[in-house]
Structure 1
Amino acid sequence: MPKHSRRTFLKAAGSAVGTAALVSGQVGASGGKNTRFLVDLTEVSKSEVPDDVEIVHDISEIDLLAARGDPDAVPGAASTTPDIAVYQHDETPRGGPVKEQNASGEGSKGPAWDSGEPLNTELQWDKRAQRVGDLSERPDNRRTVQDTTKGEGSRVAVIDSGVYDGHPDLADVVNADLSANFTTDPYDFRPNGAGDHGTHVAGTVAATNADDDGVLGTAPETEVVAHRVFSGVEGVSGDVLAAIVDAANKGCDAANLSLGYPPLDPADPGVIAIKESYEAATAYARSQGMVVVNSAGNAGVDMTPEDVLSLPTEVEGVFGVSATGPIGFLWDDEQENREDKALKKLEEPTAHPANYTNYGTGVDVSAAGGNYDPDAVDEVDGWYYDLVLSTVIEEADGEVEPGYGWKAGTSMAAPQVTGAVALVRSLRPDASVEEVESLIQETAQDAPGGELYHGAGHLDLRRLVKRAR
């Protein structure tokens, strides 16, 4: 395992993505004899695949192989389809802009406002708005979500860039034996240079607030299975499909997919084939009792028109999540009266649609993903407080340092719902996928923008656990 120090750092990393053009199914599909492609086992038998074609993943549960080599060597014109590139939902094929800013201060173990620096948990507006736990120095004896359950007995998969289990807030929740690498690089399930996106997602689900100076996840007693699908090698759909099926086979209650594609052309044959593959993987996952949770995407587009397709959000059976967040949270951080501010700092609404979020068809609920004012980034100290604070890492010279940082995106909204699934399954372990999803939707609250932006509504954990008890 890479070495790390216990030094805590705070880093702001928000994501703003402009509207993307429709993209065909050839994205990420290169020609030649080292091409990634999918093999349809309803068209050709596994025994007919030549030996010089490498089977990267055997996904026979859904009659599929993920392969590498020359697709023309496989018999049958309809037996193969190009694998296409998949992206973390803080990235697009066109890049950014991704915003980063280092923030001073490490949090405080003492009374937050007396010390002059807030506790990390006091910066978690997403958890405080949901009354997840005792997150401040001013408890008022009201019941919190975690007074009812912390997700004990549940298991979730984070299908992403890997999870660093050396982070003190994640050390006790990641199941290293079940976690796996689904890329073609030779490393394990940890990030290994793939970045901290998956570590941030995992913290939102299950961070334990180690030593009371960390951050708190929705379900800190759930078990996280880290399935890495991103690395220095371009991520492709076959790796994600294999990771979904494997997570279902491992008894996960939910799989978090904070990933996807730019808006796709639904008439493209390659896109149709990938969509059908996701439909098969999702149907299999549901048959095994696993909820598939997906971030809706950061292109700021309406997914409703028939000529726009957002994958995998619009796949039947995928639970799509849009993003919300405040504008102006703690922007007045330098004001002198900290005691008054401690009482008032959640005044900004947190359920307003984020400026970047996709919306429309495919959104089942909204959840906190962070927001930002583009005009404030260069003008307001603390603009990044509107983003979501969670666990991150910094990798340099083969060493890894754990810390806490801010990101914004539907990637940050999806794990709020994945954590909610863990809470429900902790209370109702035998609940079906349909029952879990219905509970989340039926207890969601109305929010600005209505159904177009929020589907059934904005996630409400307090109402959810009360109903699920």
Structure 2
Amino acid sequence: MKGFKHFLMFTITCLFLSGLQMNIEAKGSDRITNKFDHTIKIQSNLEQKVNKSKKGKIKVIVQLEEKFTPEGRVSTSQKDKQESNIQETQDTVIEDLDNKEQDVSGHISKFKTIPYMSMEVDEEGLKALAENPDVKSITEDAVISKSDIKTNSNFLEDKLRAKDIFTNSLMNAESAWSAGFTGKGKSVAILDTGVDRSHPFLKDKVVYEACFSSNRNCDGKTATTGEGAANDTEGHGTHVAGIAAGNTTNFSGVAKEANILAIKVLADKDGEGNFSDLLNGLERVYLLRNQYDISAINMSLGGGKYSSTCDSSYTSIKNIVDNLKSAGIATIAASGNDSYKSALSAPACISSVVSVGSTNDYDQVSSFSNSVSFLDLLAPGDPVYSSLPGGGYGYLSGTSMATPQVTGGFALVRQKYPNSTVDQILSYMKEDGVSVKDKANNIPTPRLDFSWMRAILITLDRVQKPILQGEIIEWTDVPNAFQYEVELYKDNTIIYTTRVDGTVHEINLSSKMESSGSYTVTVRAIGDGAHYQDGPVSAYSDASNIISTLQQVKKPIWDGNTIRWDEVTDASQYMIKLYNGKTLIQTQTVQNNVLQYNFEKQMVKPGSYTVTVQAIGDSVNYRDSIVSSPSEVNKKLTTLAKPQKPTWSGDSIHWKTVEHTKTVELRLYRGKTLILSKRVAAGDRKYNLSSKMKNSGEYTVTIKAIGDNKSYKSGAASVHSDKKITLKQVPKPTWKGTVIQWHSVAKASKYELKLYRGSKLVFTKHVTASNHKYSYASKMKVRGTYTVTVEAIGNHKTYRNGPISHRSVGKKR
């Protein structure tokens, strides 16, 4: 990505609740009075929408005539009673629809903790609901969809890449982290397009996944859970999750050690879903409250325009958000990207939802960010660098990016104050935030900041004056020091800084003091950032006047058993060290006019030999160089012994083992032609070759011990075994009357004759090697066509049976 001149950023409106301004007060709705004089509020135009729909049906959210109190405010028995009443009323409504022969099976979503349900109905079903005394209101289960707003940007990408950790630094997240508040043990829920759980930034963070889609886009179902259920192919949810809780060694999200519950509520094409999917997602998080320590829910989504709180317009969301809030779980939503300066989007406009606007790089309210007097918080969102599906990263802008900053922040504060309520945590964030005024409306809003979470640290003691002896710096211990920072000065100019562990109290600085000069050192005790802060810098050590260091010898080179190296100017000697592996074998010093050394006498054992060379100074004008890099490895291997001549036992070749053999290689020859090369285990002592010696010829075998190429190399092959000869094939036999005749084969001990009638073997006969014909008159009395094969039989010591002859021509009887 580096090198692009310009980088086009996208501000993410996130989720636009299309047509979701479902004001269920008198405005925009009709009142229907049923036969029981029960007034039901029904969203206007629902009947017209049913008629216009291709399926003749419409998805609706049904509010029930049931009292509701957030469950965290009532006793367990009252909570159970409320849930029971909700379920009974839901069942009654469904039963009434069934009695009126309204088919809504497979389309019903019953919410367990709030008096609502969703379903798909036709015109008659809508009428049946309107006539039901248990129904309080009916609104459309509207489509929610993501919309992107492009914004012009002339930022160079190189400039943007420096912002990897910019937003965390701007909010002083390091103050919370250094105090031990990283979100560890807490969880945040991301309700979005899903999360790429395999992304390195989110590795091992996603502890729960769910998907909700009334259009059955959760692998063909309306709801799924388990690994992969919330897989993100769109990208928005993965980016949001990284901002809230991502973590790598280079940079991180806000709650970098928090876990993630990935709830996919936009599973339809182009990142769309329905209102009921969002409600299902919120309720699922609530039902998981006892399984996971959930601090907050992130909803980087929104739509509509509300200049005041919108609780009455979104009672279903208000109810479930209040349930969550009563359980200590904050619901956090984006203010919207419509540039409204006197209104917010929904659901951020709900009074119990924490609303979040965006600030830019200059800590100003982003021009696109919706703003109003009752906006809760601001956070960096323009732009933010975070994870994208497939393992990549990128910049996005929008209140969608600001919202997860606050979501992660809730996890940090919840870790610091585990018993605080949602309102208390929000008040901490507001009171300790940085006030930023929106220039468009002059409304100040607190921007998220964590500097107030910084731990009160104890300052470490000052290190006593360190002692510099030659190139070795030493200092005394400071209790509770996490590290020590050592700074080396040459002629009053700092030339080197390093940090070492708190258990270290001396280091060798010779590699940094190679040129002549006057050197001094300071040491400072470094705190852990959680309980102790850095101590003051020590006094300067006494000066150490250093002579020049000789140049390092270049990497030496092997020439057989001789090591060679290049001359170093002003060296008085060279110190040569020979190693076998990591073990030092010999140290040898030679004069400066010697530039090679033979180690043949020292390299008698097998192993991997290397050499280093160091130029030695005269200690007056020059000091020793640093040691050269090790030479390349010079391997010395022991050659395995040559195996004894192998022997035959029938068709199996036998041999004796050679010590230190890794494998055994046997080779089978017919005459001088290699026909088989085979490696067998070192413990094997024989191998049957009958299947490889079917053709006529003289066969011999050699055996070779194969080494491991670490300590032992392969030995020479054995001498050839004695010959094992496969007799020649008998030429095709011929008939003379009922007598079969054949030509002799040299070295045959006998012949095996087989008589066939058709394909059936009817008679087998062995005859001596001196016979070359045989009469079958007595064996051919049954009518048919007879053929004969002849095989030369060996003595099974030196000679093997030859191939069976071709069948004779047929003889009819």
TM-score, normalization: structure 1?
Answer: 0.70
Supply the AA of the counterpart residue of 2:350. V
1:45 and 2:80 correspond:
no
Residue 442 of structure 1 deviates from its aligned partner by 1.2
Query: Structure 1: which 5+ residue stretches go unaligned?
Result: 1-6, 105-116, 134-142, 327-348, 371-386, 394-400
CA distance in 2, matches of 1:190, 1:285: 21
Structure 1's 430 and 362: CA in aligned 2 closer, same or farther, altered over 3 A? same
Normalised by the size of structure 2, how large is the TM-score? 0.42
- Structure 2 residue corresponding to 1:205, chosen from 234, 244, 254: 244
2:287 maps to: 249
Q: State which of 353, 358, 381 in structure 2 corresponds to 1:369.
A: 381
Q: Distance in 2 between matches of 1:127 and 1:291?
A: 21
Report the residue type matching 1:226 in the other structure.
Answer: A
Instruction: Identify if the C-alpha distance between structure 1 residues 276 and 36 changes in structure 2 by more than 3 Å, giving closer, same or farther.
Output: same
The answer to whether the 8 Å contact 1:56/1:66 transfers is yes
Contact 1:22–1:265 (CA under 8 A) maintained in structure 2: no
* Secondary structure in structure 2 of the residue aligned to 1:240: helix
Q: Which stretch of structure 1 is more off in the superposition, 151-160 or 229-238?
A: 229-238
- In 2, Cα distance between equivalents of 1:155 and 1:276: 26
Partner of 1:284, secondary structure, is helix
What is the Cα deviation at residue 356 of structure 1?
0.4
Shift in CA distance, 28/145, structure 1 to aligned 2, threshold 3 Å: farther
1:402 is the counterpart of 2:442:
no
Q: Tell me how far apart the structure 1 counterparts of residues 197 and 188 of structure 2 sit (CA, whole Å).
A: 15
Q: CA deviation at 1:414?
A: 0.5
Q: Does 1:300 align with 2:353?
A: no
Paired position in structure 2 for 1:263: 305
Choose the corresponding residue for 1:180, options 210, 214, 217: 210
Distance in 2 between the 1:28 and 1:262 partners? 19
- How far, CA to CA, are the matches of 2:217 and 2:44 in structure 1? 21
**Residue-by-residue CA offset, 1:58-84 (whole Å, 9 max, x unaligned):** 213111112234374153324421112
- Within 5 Å, which residues of 2 pair with 1:65-464? 65-70=117-122, 72-73=124-125, 75-77=128-130, 78-88=136-146, 91=147, 96-97=149-150, 122-133=163-174, 145-175=177-207, 178-183=208-213, 184-187=216-219, 188-193=228-233, 195-209=234-248, 212-213=249-250, 215-233=251-269, 234-251=272-289, 252-263=294-305, 274-304=313-343, 310-326=345-361, 349=362, 351-370=363-382, 387-393=383-389, 401-449=390-438, 456-464=445-453
For the structure 1 residues 128 and 102, does the alpha-carbon distance in structure 2 shift closer, same or farther, using more than 3 Å as the test?
closer
User: For 2:232 and 2:60, how far apart are their aligned partners in 1?
Assistant: 25
Mapped to 2, the partners of 1:423 and 1:409 lie a distance apart of 23
CA contact (8 A) 1:173 1:222 kept: yes
The equivalent residue for 1:139 is none
Larger radius of gyration: 2
Query: SS where residue 433 of structure 2 aligns?
Result: coil
Q: Tell me: CA distance 1:312–1:196, structure 2 relative to 1, closer, same or farther (3 Å).
A: same
Q: 2:311 touches 2:318 (CA, 8 Å); kept in 1? A: no
Amino acid aligned to 1:313: A
Aligned-partner residue type, residue 230 of structure 2: R
Shift of 1:13: 4.1
Q: CA contact under 8 A between 1:191 and 1:231: conserved in structure 2?
A: no
Q: Structure 2: how far apart are the matches of 1:146 and 1:412?
A: 24
Q: Which amino acid aligns with 1:68?
A: E
Q: CA deviation at 1:28?
A: 12
Distance 1:63 1:279 in 2: 12
Deviation, 1:435, is: 1.3
C-alpha displacement of 1:259: 0.4
Distance change in 2, residues 1:244/1:23 (3 Å):
closer
CA contact (8 A) 1:360 1:455 kept: no
* Offset, 1:168: 0.8
Q: Secondary structure at the match of 2:447?
A: coil
| Aligned-partner SS, 1:447 | strand
Paired letter, 1:357: S
Question: Cα–Cα, structure 1 residues 321 and 118, in superposed 2: closer, same or farther, change >3 Å?
Answer: closer
Distance in 2 separating the partners of 1:314 and 1:325:
22
The CA RMSD measured in Å over matched residues stands at 3.8
Give the deviation of 1:170 after TM superposition.
Answer: 0.3
Distance 1:127 1:24, change over 3 A: closer
Q: Are the aligned partners of 1:151 and 1:423 in contact in 2 as well (CA < 8 Å)?
A: yes
Aligned mates of 1:71, 1:462 — CA distance in 2: 58
Separation (CA, whole Å) in 2 of partners of 1:72 and 1:220: 53
- Cα–Cα, structure 1 residues 156 and 118, in superposed 2: closer, same or farther, change >3 Å? same
Does the 8 A contact of 1:131 with 1:462 survive in 2? yes
Q: Counterparts of 1:65 and 1:199 in 2: how far apart (Å)?
A: 30
- Say if 1:145 and 1:461, in contact at 8 Å, map to a contact too: no
The match for 1:376 is none
1:73 & 1:179 partners in 2: Cα distance? 34
Relative CO higher for 1 or 2, CA cutoff 8 Å, sep ≥ 6? 1
**Distance in 2 (alpha carbons) for counterparts of 1:119 and 1:98:** 16
* Aligned residue-pair number: 376
Matched with 1:377 is none
Deviation at 1:97, TM superposition (A): 3.3
Match of 1:4 in 2: none
Letter in 1 for 2:65: T
Cα distance between partner residues in 1 of 2:2 and 2:118? 40
Shift of 1:314: 1.2
Q: Is the 8 A contact 1:249 1:288 kept in 2?
A: no
What SS does structure 2 have at the residue aligned with 1:460? coil
What amino acid does structure 1 have at the position aligned with 2:61?
A: L
Structure 2 CA distance for partners of 1:147 and 1:87, relative to 1, 3 Å: farther
Letter paired with 1:129: L
Amino acid at match of 2:357: S
Structure 1 residues 20, 81: closer, same or farther in 2, change over 3 A?
closer
Compare 358-367 and 32-41 and name the one that shifted more: 32-41
Q: 1:58 aligned to 104, 107, 110, which one?
A: 110
Distance, in Å, in 1 between the alignment partners of 2:17 and 2:274 is 19
The 3 A distance-change label for structure 1 pair 225 and 27 is farther
* Distance (whole Å) between structure 1 residues aligned to residue 307 and residue 416 of structure 2: 41
Question: What SS does the corresponding residue of 2:139 show, helix, strand or coil?
Answer: strand
Looking at secondary structure, tell me which structure has more strand per residue.
2
